[in-house]
Structure 1
Amino acid sequence: MVIISVLVTLFIEKKEYTLISASTGQIMVGAVAGLIFRYSVLSIDSVQGVDPSLFQTLFLPIIIFEAGWNSIETRWIFMHNLGTISIYAILGTIVTSGIIGLILFGFRALSFDIIPLSVLDVIVFSALLASTDPVATMSIFGQLRAHPLLNTLVFGESILNDAVAIILYKTFVEFYGEPLVWTSEFILTVIGKFLLNTFGSLGIGIALALIASKVTQKVDMFPVIELILVLLCAMLSYLLTDFLELSGVTAIFFFGLVSKHYLWFNLTKQSREFTDTFFRTLKDIAEITIFTLLGVQLFMFDWKYYNWPMIGVSLFACLFSRLYIIPFSIILNCFRKKPQNKITNKMQLIMWWAGVRGAVAYALAVGIKSYQESLHFDNSTDYIGGAEMEETAYEEMVTTTHTVVIITILILGTSTGPVLKSMKLAGDHVIAI
Structure 2
Amino acid sequence: MKHVDLRKTPSLELGMMFIFAYVPYGLAESLKLSGIMAILLAAIVMSHYTHNNLSLVTQINMQQTLRALSFMAETSVFAYLGLAIFSFKHNFQPAFVIWSIILLLVGRFLNIYPLSWVLNHFREIKITKRMQFIMWFSGLRGAICYVLSLHLYLDTVEKRHVIITTSLIIVLFTILVLGGATLPVVKFLQVDDKRDYHRTLTLSKTEEMGQTIESDHISELTEEEYEEKYLRENLRLKGFAYIDAKYLVPFFTRRITKRELILNRSEMQRLTNKWYEEVRSRPSPSDDEETEI
Give me the TM-score of the superposition, normalised by structure 1.
0.42
Aligned residues: 198
1:336-375 correspondence to structure 2 within 5 Å: 336=123, 341-366=125-150, 368-369=151-152
| Contact 1:287 1:359 (8 Å CA) reproduced | no
Match of 1:416 in 2: 182
Q: How far is 1:246 from its partner?
A: 2.6
- Paired with 2:95 and 2:126, the residues of 1 have a C-alpha distance of 39
Any runs of at least 4 consecutive aligned residues in structure 1 with deviations exceeding 4 A, and if so which? 425-428, 430-433
Match of 2:20 in 1: 233
Q: 1:67-93 deviations in whole A, cap 9, x for unaligned? A: xxxxxxxxxxxxxxxxxxxxxxxxxxx
Match of 2:80 in 1: 293
Match of 1:423, SS state, is helix
Q: How far is 1:332 from its partner?
A: 4.1
Structure 2 regions of 5+ residues with no counterpart?
Answer: 206-293
- Paired with 2:14 and 2:139, the residues of 1 have a C-alpha distance of 34
Q: How far is 1:334 from its partner?
A: 4.7
Aligned residues: percent identity?
32
Q: What's the Cα RMSD here?
A: 2.6
Match of 1:357, SS state, is coil
Aligned residue among 253, 262, 270 for 2:57 = 270
Q: 1:209-262 deviations in whole A, cap 9, x for unaligned? A: xxxx3454x444411111111122233332233223233232222222222222
Match of 1:232, SS state, is helix
Match of 1:429 in 2: 198
- Paired with 2:159 and 2:178, the residues of 1 have a C-alpha distance of 27
| Contact 2:25 2:39 (8 Å CA) reproduced | yes
Q: Does 1:315 align with 2:101?
A: yes
| Contact 1:238 1:251 (8 Å CA) reproduced | yes
Q: Does 1:284 align with 2:71?
A: yes
Per the alignment, do residues 239 and 221 of structure 1 end up closer, same or farther by CA in structure 2, a change over 3 Å counting? farther
Per the alignment, do residues 269 and 220 of structure 1 end up closer, same or farther by CA in structure 2, a change over 3 Å counting? closer
Q: 1:360-405 deviations in whole A, cap 9, x for unaligned? A: 2223222x25xx5xxxxxxxxxxxxxxx543222222221111001
Match of 1:416, SS state, is helix
Q: How far is 1:330 from its partner?
A: 3.9
Match of 1:244 in 2: 31
Match of 2:251 in 1: none
Structure number with the bigger relative contact order (C-alpha 8 A, sep ≥ 6) is 1
Match of 2:88, SS state, is coil
- Paired with 2:115 and 2:23, the residues of 1 have a C-alpha distance of 37
Q: 1:109-134 deviations in whole A, cap 9, x for unaligned? A: xxxxxxxxxxxxxxxxxxxxxxxxxx
Match of 1:429, SS state, is helix
Q: Does 1:223 align with 2:10?
A: yes
- Paired with 2:25 and 2:129, the residues of 1 have a C-alpha distance of 39
Give me the TM-score of the superposition, normalised by structure 2.
0.60
- Paired with 1:352 and 1:328, the residues of 2 have a C-alpha distance of 12
- Paired with 2:115 and 2:33, the residues of 1 have a C-alpha distance of 30
One-letter code aligned to 2:38: A
| Contact 2:120 2:127 (8 Å CA) reproduced | yes
Per the alignment, do residues 396 and 215 of structure 1 end up closer, same or farther by CA in structure 2, a change over 3 Å counting? farther
Q: How far is 1:318 from its partner?
A: 1.0
